[in-house]
């Protein structure tokens, strides 16, 4: 069965996903698009030569009889409205991160999904599908470094636009680490603390950059995450797990090593679109495969969306109380999501 997609939000990542479903992946087709800015939706249809209907209203798109699954790629604050509407209509939905901007809104989605009695939601935390993180998890689970004790991570963007605010370092950027690191360690977070190093002169006056978030897990692993979104030199993602008998590193992306002009060099990617291109393909292909065969979705669930949102809420609170350690208390995970 071909999965017929309706897309809400045709901006940067919406267009990326539309392109990959249309040109790269198998088993999916874009049949409907919507954007609050109708010109965006129309121009995507034209630009990509889609045979898709443009809807003025996202809810009409969700309820269209020929839409099997909804791709929510509009801006974060509108995610809840469309995910909830899709779930209530009994439709599958792939939602870009964050699932919703507050933990309570995520719980509303969780409740609606459990009421349907079926797993309908996958959240776009694509790093769980990245081959590097998968290999790292396998190495840790196989005991190659013994019991994990510490984890050092960095999330560096070359630059951000003027609208990027201090809290976005957590709920837009570090939210990827929040999701992937506890999955990697098979653990849960119990506390968070934020400290601020010297500020880069490249950041806008309103933005604290870089930041360091220190998190502790239930098993006692200490995690430090550096978020540096005006690092200037590239899009660089680091993860190093220190165990009792060894250290495991997230592999670097495969770029060509050059010996030239008296230097040994390897290029560094500049854009998230390129850094995780394969992971985006794999996560969406997994979604399409599950929907078309009616099997259970394998990607991050709405519960994972809730866990990330709650953790992000605490980290954002910790930003305004530098140095203070704040508790992270998740609700008990329902059997439905285990
Ligand atoms: P963007 O600003 O480029 O695009 C957002 C689009 O949504 C715009 O075209 C806007 O007009 C539209 N929109 C806003 N409100 C809407 C509404 N109520 N109804 C319909 N359309 C609406 O942003 P983006 O970079 O594409 O980000 C979109 C989402 O994807 C965000 O939640 C972001 O966090 C996420 N994202 C995820 C990744 C990742 O690595 N997984 C990368 C980038 C963005
Ligand atoms: C963006 O929304 C993403 O999700 C990228 O992966 C992240 O690196 C960037 O900081 C965010 O703004």
Q: What is the pLDDT of residues 86-136, one digit of tens each?
A: 999 999 999 999 999 999 999 999 999 999 999 999 999 999 999 999 999
Question: With a 6 A CB cut-off, is 4 part of the ligand 2 pocket?
Answer: no
Distance of CA 207 to the CA centre of its chain: 22
Pocket test residue of 75, 78, 178, 278 for ligand 1, highest count of atoms within 8 A of CB? 75
Q: What single string gives the DSSP state of each residue in 285-324? A: HHHHHHHHHTPPP-S--HHHHHHHHHHHHHHHHHHTSTT-
Ligand 1 centre distance from Cα of residue 10 (Å): 7
The response to whether residue 173 sits with its C-beta less than 6 Å from ligand 2 reads: yes
Residue 38 near ligand 1, beta carbon < 6 Å: no
The Cα 179–Cα 165 span in angstroms is 21
Domain segments of the chain as ranges: 3-123, 128-270+307-337
> How far apart, in whole angstroms, are the C-alpha atoms of residue 205 and residue 195?
18
Q: Is 235 exposed, middle or buried (0-12, 13-18, 19+ CB in 10 A)?
A: buried
Q: What is 3-123's CATH topology?
A: Rossmann fold (3.40.50)
- Long-range interactions of 131-136: CB distance < 8 A, separation 24+: 131/251, 131/278, 131/279, 131/282, 132/250, 132/251, 132/253, 133/180, 133/184, 133/239, 133/250, 135/251, 136/184, 136/239, 136/241, 136/248, 136/249, 136/250, 136/251
Q: Is 130 in the pocket of ligand 2 (CB under 6 A)?
A: no
Atom of ligand 1 nearest to the CA of 124: 41
CB 223 within 8 A of CB 239: no
Question: For residue 249, how far is its CA from the centre of ligand 2 (angstroms)?
Answer: 21
**Per-residue confidence (pLDDT) for residue 274, from 0 to 100:** 93
**pLDDT for res 31:** 98
Pairing, β 211-217 against β 189-195: antiparallel
Read out DSSP for 155-198?
EE-S---TT--TTHIIIIIIHHHHHHHHHHHT--EEEEEEE--P
Dist. CA 83 → ligand 1 center (Å): 14
Q: How far is the CA of 246 from the centre of ligand 2 (A)?
A: 30
Ligand 1 centroid, distance to 292 Cα (angstroms) = 26
Q: For a pocket test of ligand 2, which of 17, 172, 279, 308 has the largest count of ligand atoms closer than 8 A to its C-beta? A: 172
Considering only the C-alpha atoms of the chain, give the largest distance between any 2 of them, rounded to a whole number of Å: 64
The answer to whether residues 123 and 305 touch, using CB atoms and an 8 Å cutoff, is yes
Are residues 28 and 288 in contact, defined by beta-carbon separation less than 8 angstroms? yes
Query: If you search the block for the tokens 């060894």, which residue do you land on?
Result: 246
Q: Does the domain formed by 128-270+307-337 have CATH 3.40.50.10310?
A: no
Mean pLDDT per 10-residue section of the chain, whose length is 338 residues: 97 97 98 97 96 97 98 97 98 97 96 98 98 98 98 98 96 97 98 98 98 98 98 98 98 95 96 95 98 97 98 98 98 96
Using one digit for the tens of pLDDT, what is the confidence trace for 130-184?
Answer: 999 999 999 999 999 999 999 999 999 999 999 999 999 999 999 999 999 999 9
Give the ligand whose atoms come closest to the C-alpha of residue 126: 1
272 CB within 6 A, ligand 2? yes
The pLDDT assigned to 38 comes to 95
Helix segments in the chain, DSSP class H:
12-19, 38-48, 58-63, 79-88, 103-116, 131-141, 168, 175-185, 272-275, 277-293, 302-319
Structure tokens at 103: 């933990």
């Amino acid at each position: 069965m071909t999965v017929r997609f309706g897309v809400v939000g045709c901006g940067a990542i919406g267009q990326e996903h539309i392109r990959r479903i249309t040109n790269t992946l198998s088993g999916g087709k874009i049949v409907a698009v919507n954007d609050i800015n109708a010109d965006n939706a129309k121009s995507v249809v034209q630009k990509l030569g889609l045979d898709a209907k443009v809807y003025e209203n996202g809810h009409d798109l969700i309820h269209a009889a020929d839409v099997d699954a909804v791709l929510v790629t509009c801006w974060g604050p509108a995610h809840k409205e469309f995910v909830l509407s899709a779930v209530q209509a009994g439709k599958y939905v792939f939602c870009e991160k964050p699932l919703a901007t507050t933990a309570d809104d995520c719980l509303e989605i969780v409740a609606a999904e459990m009421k349907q009695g079926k797993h309908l939601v996958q959240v776009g935390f694509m790093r769980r599908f990245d081959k590097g993180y998968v290999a790292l998890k396998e190495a840790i689970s196989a005991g190659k470094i013994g019991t994990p004790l510490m984890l050092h991570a960095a999330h560096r963007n070359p630059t951000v636009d003027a609208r990027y605010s201090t809290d976005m370092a957590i709920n837009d950027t570090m939210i990827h680490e929040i999701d992937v690191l506890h999955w990697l360690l098979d653990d849960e977070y119990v506390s968070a603390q934020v400290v601020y190093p010297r500020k880069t002169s490249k950041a806008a006056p309103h933005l604290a950059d870089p930041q360091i978030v220190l998190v502790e897990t239930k098993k006692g692993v200490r995690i430090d995450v550096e978020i540096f979104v005006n690092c200037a030199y590239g899009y660089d993602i680091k993860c190093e797990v220190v165990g009792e008998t060894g250290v495991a590193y997230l592999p670097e992306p495969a770029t060509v090593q050059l010996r030239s002009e008296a230097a040994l060099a390897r290029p560094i990617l500049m854009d998230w679109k390129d850094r995780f291109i394969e992971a985006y393909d794999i996560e969406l292909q997994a979604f399409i495969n599950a929907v078309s065969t009616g099997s259970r979705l394998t990607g991050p669930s709405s519960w994972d969306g809730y866990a990330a949102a709650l953790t992000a809420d605490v980290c954002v609170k910790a930003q305004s109380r530098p140095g203070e350690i704040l508790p992270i208390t998740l609700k008990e995970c329902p059997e439905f999501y285990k």
